[in-house]
Amino acid sequence: MTAAREVGNLFFERIKARDLVGALALVNPETKVNLVPLGIEGSETGVLANYFERLQTAFPDLRLKVRRIFAGSDGMVVAEISIEGTQAEDFYGIVNQEKLMDLDQVWLMHVDGEKIDQIRAYWCQNRLYRRLGVKRLDHVTITA
Amino acid sequence: MGTATKLTAVEVVNAFFDAYRAHDVEGMVELCSDNADFHYMPVELWTRQRVIRGDGKVRTIGKPLWTTLIDSFPDLTNHITYLTSDAEGNVATEVMISGTQARAFGTIGNMGMHYDLPHVFLFKVGEDDLIEEITAYWDTADWYRQLGRLEVD
């Protein structure tokens, strides 16, 4: 499953290089996306594009590191990544307080041939809230 | 569900979750090597002096954490929804973990609430069929909401 792992690596290399168009070129247009902590699900690359556009806008100095990646025998790429950046814009309701965040994530991406056709991503949204100064889960937009 | 190329690694991981479901913490630990690494990525408790992380060894961090969790959620159970593996002993699972709170767990006071929380567990299984590393991800915000806790700590 080296080919699948290479597709996964290339996807994140392009995200790291802010080449969103190039990254999305590796994704089937009807890919199933589930960003679990955000409760966002969809069957189009627009869901993914929207997430990364908002992430890169909110954290203009975004840094991404792939910590570990492997591919299962069924073509599922499992990637542990870390992202880090300083907030400059609101992000999914989290008011900008110019705080630094670092977040560990795991992405499960199924590769069929040369394209990614399933994505499920997990991380701890509580950690993100803590880093960005959110005090209560029922008032994410209120910071004090 | 994916198919395994290294059946023993998948069998070991299935046995681990079987033991977890049976609340057999000793059995869970016995499936791990003596020095197995443990990383519960979301665990981060902030105290005045230091930050306590869910990072260390299965025997010193994992075992007491599992024991305490089972004590606080006596009906704790798990259901594997997806599993994949490679030929190098890497196994990834998506697991739904569920339980009803009966006692306080750390800073989470007991409100008697039930939770169903999606997790990802990653395992590295060695050639001796022992788990050498466990890494887990979940969203604590989702967990807190389900348990009735709304403060971000």
Enumerate residue ranges in chain A where pLDDT < 70: 1, 142-144
Residues of A in contact with B122 (CB under 8 A): 68, 78, 80, 106
Sorted by sequence, the CB contacts under 8 Å of residue A15 that are 6+ apart come out as A23, A52, A64
Contact between B45 and B52 under an 8 Å Cβ cutoff? The reply is: yes
CB pair distance less than 8 Å for A104 and B137: yes
Q: Are A106 and B121 in contact (CB under 8 A)?
A: no
Provide the shortest C-alpha distance from residue A104 to chain B (in Å): 7
- Inter-chain residue contact B87 with A73, CB threshold 8 Å: yes
Query: Distance between alpha carbon A85 and the CA centroid of its chain, in Å?
Result: 13
A80 contacts on B by Cβ (under 8 Å)? 122, 135
Tell me which amino acid residue A90 is.
Answer: D
Interacting residues of B117 by C-beta distance below 8 A, sequence separation 6+ = B96, B97, B98, B138, B139, B142, B143, B146
* Whether A105 and B137 lie within 8 Å, measured CB to CB: yes
Which among A36, A68, A126 is the nearest to B144, CB-wise? A126
SS3 state of residue B113: coil
Is residue B101 within 8 A of residue B84, CB to CB? The reply is no
Paired strand residues for B115: B99
What DSSP string describes A110-125? EEETTEEEEEEEEE-H
CB spacing of B141 vs A124 below 8 angstroms: yes
* ipTM computed for the complex: 0.95
Phi, then psi, of B71 in degrees rounded to 5: -65, -40
- In whole angstroms, how far apart are CA B46 and each of A83, A102, A144, B61, B147? 21, 16, 18, 17, 20
pLDDT of residue A143: 60
The partner residue sitting opposite A73, judged by closest CB among B3, B118, B153, is: B3
Measured distance CA(B14)–CA(B25) in Å, rounded: 14
Interface check for B114 against chain A (CB to CB < 8 A): the answer is: no
Dist CA A21 CA B130 (whole Å): 43
Q: Tens digit of pLDDT per residue, chain B (153 long)?
A: 555 444 589 999 999 999 999 999 999 999 999 999 999 999 987 777 777 788 999 999 999 999 999 999 999 999 999 999 999 999 999 999 999 999 999 889 999 999 999 999 999 999 999 999 999 999 999 999 999 999 997
Residue type, position B22, single letter: A
